[in-house]
Amino acid sequence: MRQPKLTRKEEPLTENKEYLMSKDTIFQADPAVRLSNQSLCGKALYRIEKKTDKNRMQVSILNCSDRDLKIKEVVLYGGTLPVSKDTPFYGEGFHMLSQYRGTLEHPVTVGAYGDDETFFRFPGEPYRQGMTRVSNLMLLMPEDGFKQLIAFTSCRRFHGLFYFRENELEIVQDTEDKVLRPGERWELEELAVYSGTDREGLFDALSRDIERNHPRKLWEEIMTGWCSYYALRPMTAGGLYENARAMKERIPELKRLQIDGGYEKHNGDWLEANPELGADMEEICRIIRQIGVEPVGYLSPFIVDEDSDLYHEHPDWLLHDENGKPDNHTGHVKRWYYLDVTHPEALSYLKHVVAVMHDKWGMRYFKLDFLAYGALPGYCRYQNEVTSVEAFRRGMEAIVGLVEKDSFILGCNAPFWPQLGLVHANRASNDIYRSWKVVKGNGEEEFLRNWQHDRLWINDPDCVLLEPLDFHYQVKGEQVIKKSTLTPDEFLFHRAVIVASGGMVLSGDLLYEISEESIRVLKKLMETAGEAAVFEDDSLTVGRIAGKGLVCLFNWQEQEKCIDFRVEGRAEVHDFWSGENLGEFDGVVTRRLRAHSAEVLKVTAAEK
């Protein structure tokens, strides 16, 4: 069994910078309780209790009145950060497609889809106009190198949020308008504060605390395979067999063939094959195994399409509004509704689908996609006292409980903190396409989450694409072709991103068409997987994979650039891909990179 990355010596975290906010400032703050009508609750109606341990705080709230309290949120801290408004920061988003960086005064979103509120159509709060919302954690990085990380270390019931405007900050638990009965107590999520100069050390400390609350699921290897999504459009049984045979003959090390979304009749009707597929899934999986390749399962467990039989036959199994009508007022795709796994029949159906995939189709690897839609707040449920986080974890635990004894679980498009401890691996970036905008954007998304790899789970950087291939898909029934526009240098950049991610290696090309050189590159990628690069600074230009002696250089710019990095003593440098000896260097190595290009270098001590 592979061991997690938490190998650094655990050192005491320091707080010796006057401008940083002391953990006591947060821990001793007087929380405020906001009711569903947006008014503040009178303090005589509830009691806040706190337990602190070094840098961690656990808060509970007790209803000490004789009436129900419908609570919208608990504000754990509200005040002014003792840092300048031009302080750089990093913040996580609610789900895979959202991250935040920049400065407190000028925050920017990372990735193609913007902020969570826009993507999911979350309604804003009138009392927080102009504030930026981030989820789960917030890292402050003043210019002198001393850093402060504020983070939630658990997510069993409530979403943890940070709202800020310049250096004004609120730390919030979203209690989703749930009712706290007289005499009832809620345990909120644990909050922690870490300070120090070593960014990796801070994330190590956070990961240890998360591990206490949500023990990580380990797997014995970094998974490899081939995915249908970016190459086989439309998906057919014959095309799957052809790629399976090519894998067996040309690169059996990949082992697995991921039958991605599109095999099903509709989202929700997972056991009924798309008529274009040409065979049922049980037969397809049987033939793929006969070829000598492992078929991999795909499921979006919380998504129900409005054209599905499930939607029409069981509307009572869906999240709904106060009148009992299926509701999807938030979300990104307007034709999607959401399975209510607090309904016992809906949960039973989901478990039946997974059991068929495991027991009859023989799948031992499950990609679970669009998971964030299972954790959307703001809906009525069959069991309405259950929060969105609890509902999500209930559905995931039902799936995992059926298959985890012998199966690998990959989360995708997930709500990161609600899925802690429930998956072996997690997609860390957007879908990949053969365009520079996407390759560049995915690289930034991935590298900002490199710290999560082998700490929280194995990171999945999505497929590696090594050759030009147009992408075919449909929009409102019309065929659309997304042309491959990557240059040779941009393909080099992309495969260097996969190396630096340290994560899973899934081919997204047609295995029966790609060149022998691409087969060789895939094998190199698989040999190297396991350890993520640690970058020297926020420019994400120089990343080191210390355990493998690799240095990854990235030129994100529109023009040629010289990039320097230091080596200890006299070192010999080779190109990772070709093995070419680039010479011996003493102290500093300078490389000239073309625009949109990258290098992966093997650095070893020079012979004396």
d(C-alpha 261, C-alpha 270), whole Å: 10
| pLDDT in the model for residue 13 | 54
**Per-residue pLDDT tens over the stretch 91-123:** 999 999 999 999 999 999 998 898 999 999 998
- Alpha-helical regions (H) of 343-487: 344-359, 388-403, 436-448
| pLDDT in the model for residue 342 | 98
* CA angle in degrees (0–180, nearest 5) for 336-95-138: 155
| pLDDT in the model for residue 123 | 87
| pLDDT in the model for residue 72 | 98
| pLDDT in the model for residue 408 | 98
d(C-alpha 215, C-alpha 420), whole Å: 8
The CB-side HSE value for 378 (13 A sphere, CA atoms) comes to 13
| pLDDT in the model for residue 8 | 44
Q: What is the model's pTM?
A: 0.95
The secondary structure of residue 318, as a DSSP letter, is B
What does the block give as tokens for 73?
Answer: 């949120």
Residue with tokens 């003043």: 142
Kindly give the interhelix angle for 388-403 and 344-359, rounded to the nearest 10 degrees: 30
**Which residue spans within 23-68 are E strands per DSSP?**
32-35, 46-53, 56-63
The answer to whether 501 touches 428, Cβ cutoff 8 Å, is yes
d(C-alpha 227, C-alpha 362), whole Å: 18
The answer to whether 299 touches 406, Cβ cutoff 8 Å, is no
What does the block give as tokens for 561?
Answer: 């650039």
Long-range contacts of 60-66 (CB under 8 A, 24+ apart): 60/185, 60/186, 60/187, 60/188, 61/31, 61/33, 61/180, 61/185, 61/186, 61/188, 62/183, 62/184, 62/185, 63/180, 63/181, 63/182, 63/183, 63/184, 63/185, 64/183, 65/182, 66/182
| pLDDT in the model for residue 9 | 44
**Per-residue pLDDT tens over the stretch 341-396:** 999 999 999 999 999 999 999 999 999 999 999 999 999 999 999 999 999 999 99
Domains and CATH numbers, the chain: 23-213 (no CATH), 218-427 (3.20.20.70), 542-605 (2.60.40.1180)
Phi and psi at residue 163, to the nearest 5°: -115, 135
Examine residue 234 and say whether the peptide bond preceding it is cis (omega within 30 degrees of 0): yes
Q: In what order do the strands lie in the sheet with 458-460?
A: 458-460, 425-427, 408-411, 365-368, 294-299, 256-258, 224-227, 505-507
The answer to whether 456 touches 8, Cβ cutoff 8 Å, is no
Q: Residue ranges of the chain with pLDDT lower than 50?
A: 1, 6-12
Q: Given CA atoms 24, 30, 36, 37 in this order, what sign does their dihedral have? A: negative
As a dihedral over the C-alpha atoms of residue 308, residue 312, residue 313, residue 317, rounded to 10 degrees, the angle is: 90
**Per-residue pLDDT tens over the stretch 469-478:** 987 777 667 7
| pLDDT in the model for residue 581 | 97
Give Cα 85 to chain centroid, integer Å: 28
